[in-house]
Structure 1
Amino acid sequence: MKRILEVLSEEINITDTNEAQKRPKVPEGSVEYRSVAFKYKPDAENYIMKNISFKISSGETVGIIGGTGSAKTSLVQLIPRLYDVSEGSVLVGGRDVRNYTMEDLRSAVGMVLQKNVLFSGTIRDNLKWGDKDASDEEIIAACKAACAHDFIMSFPEQYETHLGQGGVNVSGGQKQRLCIARALLKKPKIIILDDSTSAVDTATDQKIRQAFKENLRDTTTIIIAQRITSVMDADKIIVLNDGKIDAVGSHDELLAGNEIYQDVYYSQQKGAAV
Protein backbone atom coordinates (compact mmCIF):
# COMPACT_ATOMS: atom_id res chain seq x y z
CA MET A 1 0.00 0.00 0.00
CA LYS A 2 2.87 2.36 0.81
CA ARG A 3 4.46 1.71 -2.60
CA ILE A 4 1.13 2.25 -4.40
CA LEU A 5 0.74 5.62 -2.66
CA GLU A 6 4.27 6.58 -3.68
CA VAL A 7 3.47 5.86 -7.33
CA LEU A 8 0.14 7.73 -7.22
CA SER A 9 1.70 10.80 -5.60
CA GLU A 10 4.69 10.91 -7.96
CA GLU A 11 4.71 14.15 -9.92
CA ILE A 12 4.78 13.87 -13.71
CA ASN A 13 7.88 15.60 -15.05
CA ILE A 14 6.89 15.48 -18.73
CA THR A 15 4.12 18.04 -19.22
CA ASP A 16 2.84 20.50 -21.79
CA THR A 17 4.85 23.70 -22.06
CA ASN A 18 3.28 27.14 -22.36
CA GLU A 19 4.67 27.28 -25.90
CA ALA A 20 2.85 24.06 -26.81
CA GLN A 21 -0.53 25.64 -26.18
CA LYS A 22 0.06 28.11 -29.01
CA ARG A 23 1.09 25.55 -31.60
CA PRO A 24 -1.09 23.85 -34.23
CA LYS A 25 -1.38 20.08 -34.55
CA VAL A 26 1.34 17.90 -36.08
CA PRO A 27 1.32 18.80 -39.80
CA GLU A 28 3.19 15.79 -41.21
CA GLY A 29 5.37 12.87 -40.21
CA SER A 30 8.95 13.98 -40.78
CA VAL A 31 11.35 13.22 -37.91
CA GLU A 32 14.70 14.79 -37.12
CA TYR A 33 17.17 14.14 -34.31
CA ARG A 34 19.61 16.98 -33.67
CA SER A 35 22.65 16.09 -31.55
CA VAL A 36 20.49 14.07 -29.17
CA ALA A 37 21.85 12.64 -25.93
CA PHE A 38 19.76 10.83 -23.35
CA LYS A 39 20.04 9.35 -19.87
CA TYR A 40 17.18 8.15 -17.70
CA LYS A 41 18.12 10.27 -14.68
CA PRO A 42 19.69 13.75 -14.75
CA ASP A 43 22.30 12.73 -12.17
CA ALA A 44 23.24 9.46 -13.92
CA GLU A 45 26.90 9.21 -14.88
CA ASN A 46 26.46 7.47 -18.23
CA TYR A 47 24.32 8.39 -21.22
CA ILE A 48 22.11 5.71 -22.78
CA MET A 49 22.71 7.34 -26.16
CA LYS A 50 24.86 10.20 -27.38
CA ASN A 51 25.55 12.21 -30.56
CA ILE A 52 22.44 11.01 -32.37
CA SER A 53 21.62 12.99 -35.52
CA PHE A 54 19.55 11.89 -38.53
CA LYS A 55 16.54 12.91 -40.64
CA ILE A 56 13.51 10.94 -41.81
CA SER A 57 11.28 12.46 -44.49
CA SER A 58 7.52 12.20 -44.18
CA GLY A 59 6.30 8.93 -45.70
CA GLU A 60 9.68 7.19 -45.53
CA THR A 61 10.15 3.69 -44.13
CA VAL A 62 13.17 3.41 -41.85
CA GLY A 63 14.55 0.29 -40.21
CA ILE A 64 16.53 0.23 -36.96
CA ILE A 65 18.89 -2.66 -36.24
CA GLY A 66 21.20 -3.22 -33.29
CA GLY A 67 22.17 -5.67 -30.59
CA THR A 68 20.58 -5.99 -27.16
CA GLY A 69 21.27 -2.84 -25.15
CA SER A 70 22.03 -0.68 -28.18
CA ALA A 71 19.16 1.74 -27.20
CA LYS A 72 16.83 0.97 -30.11
CA THR A 73 13.63 1.25 -28.06
CA SER A 74 14.87 4.22 -26.03
CA LEU A 75 15.62 6.01 -29.30
CA VAL A 76 12.05 5.86 -30.61
CA GLN A 77 10.44 6.52 -27.22
CA LEU A 78 11.71 10.09 -27.50
CA ILE A 79 9.37 10.75 -30.46
CA PRO A 80 6.05 10.62 -28.51
CA ARG A 81 7.80 12.01 -25.40
CA LEU A 82 7.62 8.89 -23.29
CA TYR A 83 10.96 10.39 -22.25
CA ASP A 84 12.50 13.79 -22.96
CA VAL A 85 15.96 14.29 -24.40
CA SER A 86 18.76 15.18 -22.00
CA GLU A 87 20.55 17.19 -24.67
CA GLY A 88 19.69 18.25 -28.22
CA SER A 89 16.21 18.08 -29.72
CA VAL A 90 13.77 15.79 -31.52
CA LEU A 91 11.62 17.39 -34.20
CA VAL A 92 8.38 16.05 -35.67
CA GLY A 93 6.80 17.88 -38.57
CA GLY A 94 9.59 20.45 -38.38
CA ARG A 95 8.90 21.43 -34.75
CA ASP A 96 10.42 20.38 -31.45
CA VAL A 97 8.20 17.69 -29.89
CA ARG A 98 8.10 19.76 -26.69
CA ASN A 99 6.24 22.45 -28.61
CA TYR A 100 3.19 20.27 -29.17
CA THR A 101 0.63 19.39 -26.56
CA MET A 102 1.02 15.81 -25.35
CA GLU A 103 -2.43 14.95 -26.70
CA ASP A 104 -1.72 16.28 -30.19
CA LEU A 105 1.75 14.69 -30.38
CA ARG A 106 0.70 11.26 -29.16
CA SER A 107 -2.43 11.19 -31.32
CA ALA A 108 -0.10 11.61 -34.33
CA VAL A 109 2.17 8.70 -33.30
CA GLY A 110 1.12 5.05 -33.26
CA MET A 111 3.33 2.59 -31.37
CA VAL A 112 3.11 -1.18 -31.56
CA LEU A 113 5.36 -3.03 -29.13
CA GLN A 114 6.53 -6.64 -29.08
CA LYS A 115 4.20 -7.28 -26.14
CA ASN A 116 0.91 -5.40 -26.37
CA VAL A 117 -2.21 -5.40 -24.26
CA LEU A 118 -5.61 -6.64 -25.35
CA PHE A 119 -8.59 -6.04 -23.10
CA SER A 120 -11.58 -8.16 -22.12
CA GLY A 121 -14.27 -7.59 -24.72
CA THR A 122 -14.84 -8.31 -28.39
CA ILE A 123 -12.23 -8.00 -31.12
CA ARG A 124 -14.19 -5.00 -32.44
CA ASP A 125 -14.14 -3.32 -29.01
CA ASN A 126 -10.37 -3.79 -28.78
CA LEU A 127 -9.78 -2.36 -32.25
CA LYS A 128 -11.90 0.69 -31.50
CA TRP A 129 -9.37 1.77 -28.87
CA GLY A 130 -7.50 3.02 -31.94
CA ASP A 131 -10.49 5.08 -33.08
CA LYS A 132 -13.78 4.84 -31.21
CA ASP A 133 -15.64 6.23 -34.23
CA ALA A 134 -14.11 3.87 -36.80
CA SER A 135 -16.58 2.45 -39.33
CA ASP A 136 -16.84 -1.25 -40.16
CA GLU A 137 -15.13 -0.55 -43.50
CA GLU A 138 -12.20 1.19 -41.78
CA ILE A 139 -11.85 -1.65 -39.25
CA ILE A 140 -11.80 -4.28 -41.99
CA ALA A 141 -9.29 -2.28 -44.07
CA ALA A 142 -6.94 -1.92 -41.08
CA CYS A 143 -7.22 -5.63 -40.30
CA LYS A 144 -6.49 -6.58 -43.91
CA ALA A 145 -3.38 -4.37 -43.87
CA ALA A 146 -2.26 -6.09 -40.66
CA CYS A 147 -3.01 -9.58 -42.07
CA ALA A 148 -5.59 -10.06 -39.31
CA HIS A 149 -8.87 -10.16 -41.27
CA ASP A 150 -8.62 -13.77 -42.44
CA PHE A 151 -8.04 -15.31 -39.02
CA ILE A 152 -10.75 -13.09 -37.49
CA MET A 153 -13.23 -14.34 -40.09
CA SER A 154 -12.29 -17.95 -39.24
CA PHE A 155 -13.76 -17.52 -35.74
CA PRO A 156 -17.47 -18.43 -35.41
CA GLU A 157 -18.35 -14.95 -34.12
CA GLN A 158 -15.79 -13.16 -36.30
CA TYR A 159 -15.35 -9.53 -35.15
CA GLU A 160 -17.70 -10.14 -32.22
CA THR A 161 -15.39 -12.86 -30.85
CA HIS A 162 -14.86 -12.25 -27.15
CA LEU A 163 -11.24 -11.96 -26.04
CA GLY A 164 -10.23 -12.97 -22.55
CA GLN A 165 -8.13 -10.64 -20.40
CA GLY A 166 -4.84 -10.06 -22.20
CA GLY A 167 -6.08 -11.91 -25.29
CA VAL A 168 -5.45 -15.36 -23.82
CA ASN A 169 -7.54 -17.08 -26.51
CA VAL A 170 -5.48 -15.83 -29.47
CA SER A 171 -1.90 -16.72 -30.37
CA GLY A 172 1.06 -14.39 -29.96
CA GLY A 173 1.19 -13.67 -33.68
CA GLN A 174 -2.56 -13.01 -33.85
CA LYS A 175 -2.29 -10.67 -30.88
CA GLN A 176 0.48 -8.69 -32.56
CA ARG A 177 -1.55 -8.34 -35.76
CA LEU A 178 -4.61 -7.11 -33.85
CA CYS A 179 -2.43 -4.51 -32.14
CA ILE A 180 -1.01 -3.38 -35.49
CA ALA A 181 -4.56 -3.00 -36.86
CA ARG A 182 -5.56 -1.01 -33.78
CA ALA A 183 -2.63 1.36 -34.29
CA LEU A 184 -3.50 1.79 -37.97
CA LEU A 185 -7.02 2.89 -37.04
CA LYS A 186 -5.50 5.95 -35.37
CA LYS A 187 -4.41 7.06 -38.86
CA PRO A 188 -1.13 8.27 -37.35
CA LYS A 189 1.38 10.51 -39.09
CA ILE A 190 4.11 8.21 -37.71
CA ILE A 191 3.85 4.52 -36.86
CA ILE A 192 6.55 2.80 -34.82
CA LEU A 193 6.79 -1.00 -34.91
CA ASP A 194 9.06 -2.14 -32.09
CA ASP A 195 9.80 -5.80 -32.85
CA SER A 196 6.04 -6.10 -33.31
CA THR A 197 6.10 -8.90 -35.88
CA SER A 198 8.49 -11.15 -33.95
CA ALA A 199 5.75 -13.76 -33.38
CA VAL A 200 4.60 -14.00 -37.01
CA ASP A 201 6.25 -16.04 -39.74
CA THR A 202 8.44 -14.36 -42.34
CA ALA A 203 5.82 -14.71 -45.11
CA THR A 204 3.17 -12.90 -43.05
CA ASP A 205 5.74 -10.30 -42.01
CA GLN A 206 6.45 -9.64 -45.70
CA LYS A 207 2.72 -9.31 -46.46
CA ILE A 208 2.28 -6.77 -43.66
CA ARG A 209 5.22 -4.71 -44.94
CA GLN A 210 3.83 -4.82 -48.49
CA ALA A 211 0.40 -3.67 -47.25
CA PHE A 212 2.06 -0.81 -45.38
CA LYS A 213 3.89 0.25 -48.54
CA GLU A 214 0.65 0.27 -50.54
CA ASN A 215 -1.71 1.80 -47.96
CA LEU A 216 0.50 4.06 -45.83
CA ARG A 217 2.39 6.06 -48.43
CA ASP A 218 2.01 9.29 -46.46
CA THR A 219 2.76 7.70 -43.08
CA THR A 220 6.30 7.60 -41.74
CA THR A 221 7.06 4.02 -40.71
CA ILE A 222 9.85 3.17 -38.26
CA ILE A 223 10.59 -0.54 -37.83
CA ILE A 224 12.76 -1.89 -35.01
CA ALA A 225 13.55 -5.51 -35.74
CA GLN A 226 15.86 -8.39 -34.98
CA ARG A 227 15.30 -9.98 -38.39
CA ILE A 228 17.10 -8.39 -41.33
CA THR A 229 14.22 -9.47 -43.60
CA SER A 230 11.90 -7.10 -41.69
CA VAL A 231 13.94 -4.02 -42.63
CA MET A 232 15.84 -4.89 -45.81
CA ASP A 233 13.27 -3.16 -48.05
CA ALA A 234 13.26 0.06 -45.99
CA ASP A 235 14.26 3.35 -47.61
CA LYS A 236 17.17 3.43 -45.17
CA ILE A 237 18.38 1.45 -42.19
CA ILE A 238 20.00 2.84 -39.04
CA VAL A 239 22.53 0.56 -37.33
CA LEU A 240 22.89 1.28 -33.61
CA ASN A 241 25.76 0.13 -31.46
CA ASP A 242 26.11 0.94 -27.75
CA GLY A 243 23.83 3.99 -27.95
CA LYS A 244 25.51 5.51 -31.02
CA ILE A 245 24.81 5.41 -34.74
CA ASP A 246 27.28 3.04 -36.37
CA ALA A 247 25.98 3.47 -39.92
CA VAL A 248 23.01 4.61 -42.02
CA GLY A 249 22.26 3.26 -45.48
CA SER A 250 20.25 0.91 -47.66
CA HIS A 251 20.40 -2.86 -47.27
CA ASP A 252 22.86 -3.19 -50.15
CA GLU A 253 25.09 -0.36 -48.88
CA LEU A 254 25.25 -1.76 -45.35
CA LEU A 255 25.79 -5.31 -46.54
CA ALA A 256 28.73 -4.08 -48.60
CA GLY A 257 30.38 -1.93 -45.95
CA ASN A 258 29.11 -2.30 -42.38
CA GLU A 259 30.58 -5.02 -40.18
CA ILE A 260 27.74 -5.14 -37.63
CA TYR A 261 25.09 -5.44 -40.34
CA GLN A 262 27.11 -8.08 -42.17
CA ASP A 263 27.49 -10.15 -39.00
CA VAL A 264 23.75 -10.08 -38.29
CA TYR A 265 22.81 -10.83 -41.89
CA TYR A 266 25.16 -13.78 -42.40
CA SER A 267 24.39 -15.31 -39.00
CA GLN A 268 20.68 -15.22 -39.86
CA GLN A 269 21.32 -16.67 -43.31
CA LYS A 270 23.17 -19.58 -41.72
CA GLY A 271 20.32 -20.10 -39.26
CA ALA A 272 17.78 -20.11 -42.09
CA ALA A 273 19.87 -22.63 -44.04
CA VAL A 274 20.03 -24.98 -41.06
Structure 2
Amino acid sequence: MSRIHPTAIVDPAAQIGADVEIGPWCHVGPDATLHAGVQLISSVVVDGITEIGAGSVVHPFAVLGGPPQHGGYKGEPTRLVIGENNLIRESVTLNRGSVQGGGVTTVGSNCMLMTGAHVAHDCVVGNNVTFANNATLGGHATVGDRVFLGGLCAVHQFGRVGRGAMLGGLAVVTRDVIPYGSVWGNHARLHGLNMVGLKRLGFDRAKIKQMLAFYRDLFEGDGTFAERLDRAEANTDGLAEADEIVAFIRAGGSRPLCLPEA
Protein backbone atom coordinates (compact mmCIF):
# COMPACT_ATOMS: atom_id res chain seq x y z
CA MET A 1 0.00 0.00 0.00
CA SER A 2 1.25 3.48 -0.89
CA ARG A 3 1.72 6.10 1.82
CA ILE A 4 0.89 9.73 0.98
CA HIS A 5 1.40 12.45 3.57
CA PRO A 6 -1.69 14.61 4.10
CA THR A 7 0.20 17.77 3.13
CA ALA A 8 1.26 16.33 -0.24
CA ILE A 9 -0.68 17.38 -3.34
CA VAL A 10 -1.09 14.40 -5.67
CA ASP A 11 -3.33 14.76 -8.71
CA PRO A 12 -5.92 11.96 -8.88
CA ALA A 13 -4.87 11.23 -12.46
CA ALA A 14 -1.27 10.44 -11.49
CA GLN A 15 -0.26 6.77 -11.78
CA ILE A 16 1.01 5.63 -8.37
CA GLY A 17 2.50 2.13 -8.03
CA ALA A 18 2.57 -0.21 -5.06
CA ASP A 19 4.46 0.80 -1.92
CA VAL A 20 5.17 4.34 -3.13
CA GLU A 21 5.90 6.82 -0.36
CA ILE A 22 5.14 10.51 -0.92
CA GLY A 23 6.29 12.70 1.94
CA PRO A 24 5.18 16.10 3.20
CA TRP A 25 4.77 19.07 0.86
CA CYS A 26 5.39 17.12 -2.34
CA HIS A 27 3.53 18.02 -5.53
CA VAL A 28 2.82 15.30 -8.12
CA GLY A 29 1.13 16.33 -11.36
CA PRO A 30 -1.55 14.54 -13.38
CA ASP A 31 0.80 13.08 -15.99
CA ALA A 32 3.29 11.59 -13.53
CA THR A 33 3.95 7.85 -13.22
CA LEU A 34 5.66 6.64 -10.03
CA HIS A 35 6.53 2.95 -10.21
CA ALA A 36 6.64 0.54 -7.28
CA GLY A 37 8.68 1.54 -4.26
CA VAL A 38 9.47 5.09 -5.34
CA GLN A 39 10.11 7.37 -2.38
CA LEU A 40 9.67 11.15 -2.50
CA ILE A 41 11.06 12.22 0.85
CA SER A 42 9.56 15.74 1.08
CA SER A 43 9.07 18.95 -0.92
CA VAL A 44 9.64 17.20 -4.26
CA VAL A 45 7.95 18.46 -7.45
CA VAL A 46 7.12 15.95 -10.21
CA ASP A 47 5.82 17.90 -13.19
CA GLY A 48 4.77 17.16 -16.76
CA ILE A 49 4.82 13.73 -18.39
CA THR A 50 7.38 12.20 -16.05
CA GLU A 51 8.05 8.54 -15.29
CA ILE A 52 10.16 7.52 -12.27
CA GLY A 53 11.38 3.93 -12.20
CA ALA A 54 10.88 1.46 -9.37
CA GLY A 55 12.89 1.87 -6.20
CA SER A 56 14.15 5.37 -6.90
CA VAL A 57 14.55 7.75 -3.95
CA VAL A 58 14.17 11.51 -4.39
CA HIS A 59 15.31 14.00 -1.74
CA PRO A 60 13.85 17.42 -0.87
CA PHE A 61 13.56 20.29 -3.33
CA ALA A 62 14.27 18.20 -6.42
CA VAL A 63 12.22 19.23 -9.47
CA LEU A 64 11.69 16.40 -11.93
CA GLY A 65 10.06 16.99 -15.29
CA GLY A 66 10.11 20.75 -15.30
CA PRO A 67 9.73 22.33 -18.75
CA PRO A 68 12.83 22.60 -20.93
CA GLN A 69 14.86 25.76 -20.60
CA HIS A 70 14.61 26.30 -24.34
CA GLY A 71 13.53 29.51 -26.05
CA GLY A 72 11.53 27.59 -28.64
CA TYR A 73 9.43 25.62 -26.17
CA LYS A 74 5.72 26.38 -26.57
CA GLY A 75 4.20 24.04 -24.01
CA GLU A 76 4.25 20.88 -26.11
CA PRO A 77 3.69 17.55 -24.28
CA THR A 78 7.29 16.36 -23.98
CA ARG A 79 8.59 13.77 -21.49
CA LEU A 80 11.14 12.79 -18.85
CA VAL A 81 11.87 9.08 -18.31
CA ILE A 82 13.92 8.05 -15.25
CA GLY A 83 15.03 4.44 -14.72
CA GLU A 84 15.07 2.25 -11.64
CA ASN A 85 16.91 2.44 -8.32
CA ASN A 86 18.24 5.95 -8.74
CA LEU A 87 19.30 8.15 -5.83
CA ILE A 88 18.37 11.76 -6.54
CA ARG A 89 19.59 14.17 -3.89
CA GLU A 90 18.55 17.66 -2.82
CA SER A 91 17.74 20.36 -5.40
CA VAL A 92 18.44 18.20 -8.45
CA THR A 93 16.68 19.41 -11.62
CA LEU A 94 15.86 17.06 -14.50
CA ASN A 95 14.05 18.78 -17.37
CA ARG A 96 11.79 17.08 -19.86
CA GLY A 97 12.57 17.13 -23.58
CA SER A 98 11.85 19.64 -26.31
CA VAL A 99 10.14 19.12 -29.66
CA GLN A 100 13.33 20.31 -31.32
CA GLY A 101 15.33 17.51 -29.66
CA GLY A 102 12.98 14.56 -30.01
CA GLY A 103 10.74 15.26 -27.05
CA VAL A 104 12.23 13.10 -24.32
CA THR A 105 14.98 13.33 -21.70
CA THR A 106 16.22 9.95 -20.45
CA VAL A 107 18.12 8.99 -17.29
CA GLY A 108 19.08 5.33 -16.87
CA SER A 109 19.05 3.10 -13.79
CA ASN A 110 21.27 2.86 -10.71
CA CYS A 111 22.49 6.45 -11.04
CA MET A 112 23.42 8.82 -8.23
CA LEU A 113 22.75 12.51 -8.75
CA MET A 114 24.18 14.51 -5.86
CA THR A 115 22.98 17.89 -4.61
CA GLY A 116 22.24 20.47 -7.29
CA ALA A 117 22.98 18.29 -10.33
CA HIS A 118 21.20 19.32 -13.52
CA VAL A 119 20.19 17.35 -16.62
CA ALA A 120 18.85 19.61 -19.37
CA HIS A 121 16.30 18.91 -22.08
CA ASP A 122 16.78 16.02 -24.52
CA CYS A 123 19.79 14.55 -22.73
CA VAL A 124 20.42 10.80 -22.69
CA VAL A 125 22.14 9.51 -19.54
CA GLY A 126 23.18 5.86 -19.23
CA ASN A 127 23.19 3.47 -16.29
CA ASN A 128 25.38 3.62 -13.18
CA VAL A 129 26.28 7.26 -13.79
CA THR A 130 27.39 9.46 -10.88
CA PHE A 131 26.89 13.23 -10.84
CA ALA A 132 28.81 14.91 -8.03
CA ASN A 133 27.42 18.13 -6.53
CA ASN A 134 26.23 20.67 -9.12
CA ALA A 135 27.47 18.73 -12.15
CA THR A 136 25.55 20.00 -15.18
CA LEU A 137 24.59 18.77 -18.64
CA GLY A 138 23.59 21.21 -21.35
CA GLY A 139 20.75 20.29 -23.69
CA HIS A 140 21.01 17.29 -26.02
CA ALA A 141 24.11 15.90 -24.26
CA THR A 142 24.74 12.13 -24.25
CA VAL A 143 26.49 10.37 -21.35
CA GLY A 144 27.39 6.67 -21.48
CA ASP A 145 27.21 4.06 -18.73
CA ARG A 146 29.44 4.26 -15.65
CA VAL A 147 30.57 7.84 -16.19
CA PHE A 148 31.65 9.95 -13.21
CA LEU A 149 31.03 13.69 -13.43
CA GLY A 150 33.00 15.68 -10.85
CA GLY A 151 31.58 18.49 -8.77
CA LEU A 152 30.69 21.70 -10.61
CA CYS A 153 31.72 20.32 -14.00
CA ALA A 154 29.65 21.26 -17.05
CA VAL A 155 29.14 19.48 -20.37
CA HIS A 156 28.38 21.70 -23.37
CA GLN A 157 25.07 21.22 -25.18
CA PHE A 158 25.21 18.43 -27.79
CA GLY A 159 28.34 17.07 -26.07
CA ARG A 160 29.08 13.34 -25.94
CA VAL A 161 30.76 11.56 -23.04
CA GLY A 162 31.73 7.95 -23.71
CA ARG A 163 31.19 5.00 -21.39
CA GLY A 164 33.44 4.75 -18.35
CA ALA A 165 34.87 8.28 -18.63
CA MET A 166 35.73 10.53 -15.69
CA LEU A 167 35.23 14.31 -15.75
CA GLY A 168 37.19 16.19 -13.13
CA GLY A 169 35.73 18.72 -10.73
CA LEU A 170 35.17 22.16 -12.29
CA ALA A 171 35.90 20.78 -15.76
CA VAL A 172 34.41 22.82 -18.59
CA VAL A 173 33.76 20.14 -21.18
CA THR A 174 33.28 21.76 -24.58
CA ARG A 175 34.53 18.75 -26.59
CA ASP A 176 33.50 15.10 -26.85
CA VAL A 177 35.15 12.76 -24.34
CA ILE A 178 36.26 9.31 -25.51
CA PRO A 179 35.09 6.19 -23.65
CA TYR A 180 37.28 5.52 -20.58
CA GLY A 181 38.94 8.93 -20.93
CA SER A 182 39.90 11.21 -18.04
CA VAL A 183 39.49 14.96 -18.60
CA TRP A 184 39.80 18.07 -16.47
CA GLY A 185 40.51 21.77 -16.74
CA ASN A 186 38.95 24.91 -18.21
CA HIS A 187 38.55 24.23 -21.02
CA ALA A 188 38.88 20.53 -20.32
CA ARG A 189 41.63 18.52 -22.01
CA LEU A 190 42.20 14.78 -22.18
CA HIS A 191 44.71 13.64 -19.55
CA GLY A 192 44.84 9.91 -20.16
CA LEU A 193 42.54 7.04 -19.29
CA ASN A 194 40.24 6.75 -16.29
CA MET A 195 42.43 4.28 -14.40
CA VAL A 196 40.18 4.17 -11.35
CA GLY A 197 37.20 3.41 -13.55
CA LEU A 198 39.04 0.66 -15.46
CA LYS A 199 39.98 -1.07 -12.23
CA ARG A 200 36.42 -0.81 -10.95
CA LEU A 201 35.27 -2.42 -14.19
CA GLY A 202 37.49 -5.39 -13.40
CA PHE A 203 40.30 -4.77 -15.88
CA ASP A 204 43.40 -6.77 -14.91
CA ARG A 205 46.95 -5.48 -15.25
CA ALA A 206 47.48 -7.02 -18.68
CA LYS A 207 44.33 -5.48 -20.12
CA ILE A 208 45.14 -2.07 -18.63
CA LYS A 209 48.59 -2.33 -20.22
CA GLN A 210 46.93 -3.01 -23.58
CA MET A 211 44.64 -0.02 -23.15
CA LEU A 212 47.55 2.26 -22.27
CA ALA A 213 49.52 1.12 -25.31
CA PHE A 214 46.49 1.77 -27.52
CA TYR A 215 46.03 5.23 -25.97
CA ARG A 216 49.68 6.18 -26.51
CA ASP A 217 49.62 5.02 -30.14
CA LEU A 218 46.43 6.97 -30.81
CA PHE A 219 47.17 10.22 -29.01
CA GLU A 220 50.97 10.38 -28.73
CA GLY A 221 52.27 8.60 -31.81
CA ASP A 222 53.77 9.96 -35.02
CA GLY A 223 51.80 11.46 -37.88
CA THR A 224 48.50 13.27 -38.03
CA PHE A 225 45.61 12.27 -35.79
CA ALA A 226 43.75 10.82 -38.80
CA GLU A 227 46.77 8.64 -39.64
CA ARG A 228 47.13 7.49 -36.03
CA LEU A 229 43.43 6.65 -35.87
CA ASP A 230 43.73 4.49 -38.99
CA ARG A 231 46.71 2.66 -37.52
CA ALA A 232 45.05 2.22 -34.14
CA GLU A 233 41.90 0.86 -35.74
CA ALA A 234 43.97 -1.73 -37.60
CA ASN A 235 45.84 -2.77 -34.46
CA THR A 236 43.26 -3.09 -31.67
CA ASP A 237 44.14 -6.81 -31.30
CA GLY A 238 40.49 -7.63 -30.67
CA LEU A 239 40.31 -5.40 -27.59
CA ALA A 240 36.62 -4.50 -27.46
CA GLU A 241 37.16 -1.28 -25.49
CA ALA A 242 39.70 -0.04 -28.04
CA ASP A 243 37.21 -0.79 -30.81
CA GLU A 244 34.62 1.16 -28.79
CA ILE A 245 36.88 4.23 -28.64
CA VAL A 246 37.53 4.07 -32.38
CA ALA A 247 33.80 3.71 -33.10
CA PHE A 248 33.04 6.68 -30.82
CA ILE A 249 35.52 8.86 -32.69
CA ARG A 250 34.37 7.68 -36.11
CA ALA A 251 30.73 8.37 -35.23
CA GLY A 252 31.51 12.04 -34.67
CA GLY A 253 29.07 14.53 -33.24
CA SER A 254 28.22 18.19 -33.06
CA ARG A 255 31.23 18.96 -30.86
CA PRO A 256 34.95 18.49 -31.63
CA LEU A 257 36.90 15.77 -29.88
CA CYS A 258 38.58 16.44 -26.53
CA LEU A 259 42.32 15.85 -27.08
CA PRO A 260 45.46 16.07 -24.93
CA GLU A 261 47.25 19.41 -24.66
CA ALA A 262 49.33 19.95 -27.79
Q: TM-score when scaled to structure 2?
A: 0.27
Higher helix share: 1
Higher strand share: 2
Structure ranking higher on relative contact order (CA contacts 8 Å, 6+ apart): 1
TM-score (norm 1): 0.26
